[in-house]
Amino acid sequence: MATAIKLIEPAQSQYLAELERKANRKNSFFRMMAHKPEVLKNFVPLYGSIMGPGAVERRIKELVYLAASFANECAYCTAAHITSAKKAGVSEEEINALQTEQNQFFSGPERAAILYSRELTREVAANETADELFEQFNDEQIVEITLIISMANFTNRFNNGLGLKPEEE
């Protein structure tokens, strides 16, 4: 599906222009969301509060986000989170293992979070993987992991629904 909706240009939105200036790059996700400026303005801090520093280490956050994005076949989020996962210490081999569901390469907590992410993404419930997650993480961490999965599914569906593709490097 080709994107039929035109992306907002930074010249049309001061907030969008400032986001892209800070990132020093074009961002099709933000340009699409800029059709609803109030949503974009609220999305950025929400995303930051979920994906920023918290009770769950950055590496696990990225593994969880990527597990959902691979399950949803979201090219846009997968490309973005492969880059951020590498910055968080996830190797190319681990990314390939995550994509092919070779779970044995991950620690117990990582595996529990990955499996929970896949199940919650595919089944919209986590009946089979929740017990292991509760054994590995405390309540605050479980809520944070669930928020990460929810955010991944939100962005995956936004991007896939509107046909957004990753920016060219």
One domain, residues 40 and 69 = no
Q: Which domain holds residue 28?
A: 10-51
Give yes or no: residues 16 and 91 share one domain: no
CA distance 166 to 169: 9
Euclidean distance between CA atoms 13 and 10, whole angstroms: 5
Number of domains in the chain: 2
The string of pLDDT tens digits covering residues 16-62 is 999 999 999 999 999 999 999 999 999 999 999 999 999 999 999 99
47 and 118 part of one domain: no
**What pLDDT, on the 0 to 100 scale, is given for residue 167?**
84
Query: Does residue 18 fall inside a structural domain?
Result: yes
* Predicted pLDDT of residue 4: 81
Residue 79, in any domain of the structure: yes
Long-range Cβ contacts of 99-108 (<8 Å, 24+ apart): 99/66, 99/70, 106/63, 108/136
Tens-place pLDDT, residues 66-118: 999 999 999 999 999 999 999 999 999 999 999 999 999 999 999 999 999 99
pLDDT higher than 70, residue 156: yes
Residue 4 is assigned to a structural domain of this protein: no
Whether 39 and 90 map to the same domain: the answer is no
pLDDT digits (tens, 9 = 90+) for 120-155: 999 999 999 999 999 999 999 999 999 999 999 999
Residues 101 and 32 placed together within one structural domain of the fold = no
- Beta strand spans in 91-164 (E): none
pLDDT at 2 over 60: no
In a domain, 3, yes or no: no
Whole-number pLDDT of residue 168: 75
d(CA 164, CA 102): 28
Do 96 and 137 lie in one domain? The reply is: yes
